[in-house]
Amino acid sequence: HYDPKTRVLRLSDSVFSSKSVAALGVAAHECGHAIQHSTNYSPLKIRHAIYPVVSISSSAAVPVIILGFLFNTATLVNVGIVLFAAVVLFQLVTLPVEFNASKRALAILEESNFLSGSNFDGTSEIKSAKKVLFAAALTYVAAALVSIMQLLRLILLANNRRD
């Protein structure tokens, strides 16, 4: 991952020591985050700004909601829902950051000629890298959708308890 506080790019051993298309894609993606940081990419700045609040709210949301339901306290439930909504907001802000880092990664790989040949099956390495990076980005989309659905479920549960 890219650590913006120390401006250091850290790769796992499996990524660092591999020459696979997937490993190059991951490394280039993380370089994309470093470039975002150096160019003051707005969504990244927003994500970093809200992170401290989200780090607290992500661990507090569910216990607060559970306590609210256990003690039949609508205020606690609502506070927990607001805390969980902050997590959802963070995940939504993360989407353009991740997609942009992947876009930058592909540009790095193409411009630097890291990938140009063909895979063992005859497909281009660039096409394979695009698939890997797109699949990785879809994990963030899936996480955001799950969180949105969970938030809606919590809101419905809270409204049903009031009725």
**Active site positions, annotated:** 30
> Residues with Cβ < 8 Å from 117, sequence gap 6 or more?
124, 125
Q: How far apart are CA 78 and CA 82, in angstroms?
A: 6
Quote the DSSP letter at residue 116: -
The residue with tokens 């009725």 is 163
Spell out the alpha helix ranges (H) of 5-124. 13-16, 21-38, 42-70, 74-111
Q: How far is CA 88 from the centre of its chain?
A: 11
Tell me if 68 sits within 8 A of 161, measured CB to CB: no
Q: At what angle do helices 42-70 and 74-111 cross, to 10 degrees?
A: 150
Structure tokens at 116: 């140009």
